């Protein structure tokens, strides 16, 4: 069969790419192509006969539907293999969704209700993965125990957003690249996924509603800045502001230390009124002492940042515990008093291992893939 793209790869196309491929096979019918693309991004599938605009195309090109169907082949989103949810009366239902990819690998995404308690039918944030596993080795992260299995394609990233929206019956409003993997380690696919997610012919998300989080790949930050995605939010996972501790917690610091990271962030182009989100995972007795926090405030000085304090979410086989709530509040107040904007991120979904740092399944590496 004449197939335009592997079924899952089609989700990695912007409208321009989708239309160009369709044009080669079935001719130039812009309204018809646009309607199909909108349907693809809204439903995860394509049924040309359901688009009223096909009649217009049919008049100039008899048999166009048959050719489109033959050309597109079967379009399928990855299969959802499990979904676990945690309900909070104040904020709604957080869902962890595991999807099986075409090669049998599994990827995890999290659907997070937005502030105000959006339930089914409302808006939500989708936390997507950019890789299966991760090679960065952060000590406080369950994904690190998997190692890197493989990068995800742009289509596999976009598909997570479409699936999460279907599972939750919500409109995705925000997308955060904070799931499995280091997004800047797979920058080309991540950038293409952002172009698709923000394409006004499809999902049409605003760039300012997308956040890319990095552990500090300084080399890739320069490339990211050159891509022109200037309104996409940048988050940096810091978690320690002295090199010795950070190198222990986050091996990336042995290559790109705090001074290099700060220099890269100072050079990063930021629009007016925009700030870099600095994530700091608080672990009792590890990185929450007054001295550590003074170093954090000092490192932040001169940068336009908002510090996001994240209570550590326990993971299997690690002894670390979150800082006490009173300590976290005191840290936030101390940062604000020092002139550093700070807030505490509320934990959602930790009961089902869906919270920050809890994604991943180390057994995936050992498991036989379905044939």
User: Is residue 340 within 8 Å of residue 362, measured between CB atoms?
Assistant: no
For residue 250, the minimal CB distance to ligand SF4 (Å) is: 7
* Cβ partners under 8 Å of residue 305, min gap 6: 275, 276, 277, 278, 340, 341
The minimum distance between CB 137 and ligand SF4, in angstroms, equals 6
CB 253 within 8 A of CB 216: yes
Asked if 215 interacts with ligand SF4 (CB under 6 A), we say: yes
Q: By CB under 6 A, which span of 13-21, 133-141, 264-272, 318-326 interacts with ligand SF4?
A: 133-141
Please report whether residue 236 would count as binding ligand SF4 according to CB under 6 A. Answer: no
Q: How many residues does the chain have?
A: 371
Would you say 118 or 234 has its CB closer to ligand SF4? 234
Strands (E), the chain: 79-88, 92-100, 106-113, 123-127, 131-133, 148-151, 171-177, 210-214, 233-237, 276-282, 305-311, 342-344
Least distance to ligand SF4, CB of residue 122, Å = 28
Closest contact distance (angstroms) between CB of 207 and ligand SF4 is: 22
Active site annotation includes 108: yes
Which one is catalytic: 51, 99, 106, 108? 108
CA distance 93 to 85: 6
Q: Judging by DSSP bridges, how do beta strands 131-133 and 148-151 pair with one another?
A: antiparallel
> Is residue 296 at the binding interface for ligand SF4, with CB under 6 A as the rule?
no
Under rule CB under 6 A, residue 134 binds ligand SF4? yes
Nearer to ligand SF4 (CB atom), residue 7 or residue 179: 179
Phi first, then psi: give them for residue 360, nearest 5 degrees: 115, 155
User: 41 or 240, CB closer to ligand SF4?
Assistant: 240
In angstroms, rounded to a whole number, what is the distance separating the alpha carbons of residues 208 and 32? 30
**Residue 182 makes contact with ligand SF4 by CB under 6 A:** yes
Active-site amino acid positions? 108, 356
Residues that bind ligand SF4 (CB under 6 A): 134, 136-138, 141, 143-144, 180-182, 215, 237
């Amino acid at each position: 069969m004449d197939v335009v793209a592997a079924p899952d790869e089609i989700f990695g196309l912007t409208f321009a790419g989708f239309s160009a491929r369709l044009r080669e096979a079935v001719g130039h019918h812009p309204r018809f192509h646009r309607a199909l693309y909108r349907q693809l991004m809204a439903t995860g599938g394509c049924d040309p006969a359901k688009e009223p605009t096909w009649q217009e195309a049919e008049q100039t090109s008899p048999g166009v539907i048959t050719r489109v169907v033959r050309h597109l082949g079967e379009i399928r989103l990855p299969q959802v293999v499990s979904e676990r949810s945690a309900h909070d009366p104040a904020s709604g239902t957080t869902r962890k969704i595991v999807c099986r990819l075409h090669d049998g690998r599994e990827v995890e995404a999290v659907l997070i209700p937005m502030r105000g308690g959006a339930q089914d039918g409302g808006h939500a944030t989708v936390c997507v993965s950019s890789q299966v596993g991760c090679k960065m080795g952060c000590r406080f992260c369950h994904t690190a125990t998997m190692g890197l299995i493989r990068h995800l394609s742009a289509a596999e990233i976009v598909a997570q957003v479409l699936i999460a929206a279907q599972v939750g019956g919500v409109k995705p409003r925000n997308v955060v690249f904070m799931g499995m993997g280091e997004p800047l380690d797979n920058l080309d696919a991540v950038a293409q996924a952002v172009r698709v997610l923000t394409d006004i012919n499809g999902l049409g998300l605003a760039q300012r509603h997308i956040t890319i989080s990095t552990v500090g790949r300084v080399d890739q930050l320069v490339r990211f800045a050159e891509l022109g995605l200037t309104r996409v939010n940048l988050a940096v996972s810091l978690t320690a502001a002295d090199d010795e501790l950070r190198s222990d917690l986050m091996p990336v610091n042995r290559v790109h230390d705090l001074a290099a990271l700060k220099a890269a962030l100072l050079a990063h182009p930021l629009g007016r009124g925009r700030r870099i989100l600095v994530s700091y995972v608080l672990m009792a007795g590890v990185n929450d002492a007054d001295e550590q926090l003074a170093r954090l405030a000092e490192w932040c000085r001169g940068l336009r940042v908002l510090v996001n304090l994240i209570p550590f979410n326990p993971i299997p086989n690690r002894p670390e515990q979150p800082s006490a709530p009173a300590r976290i509040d005191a840290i936030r107040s101390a940062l604000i008093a020092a002139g550093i904007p700070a807030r505490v991120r509320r934990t959602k979904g930790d009961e089902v291992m869906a919270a920050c740092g809890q994604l991943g399944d180390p057994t995936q590496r050992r498991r036989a893939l379905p044939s």
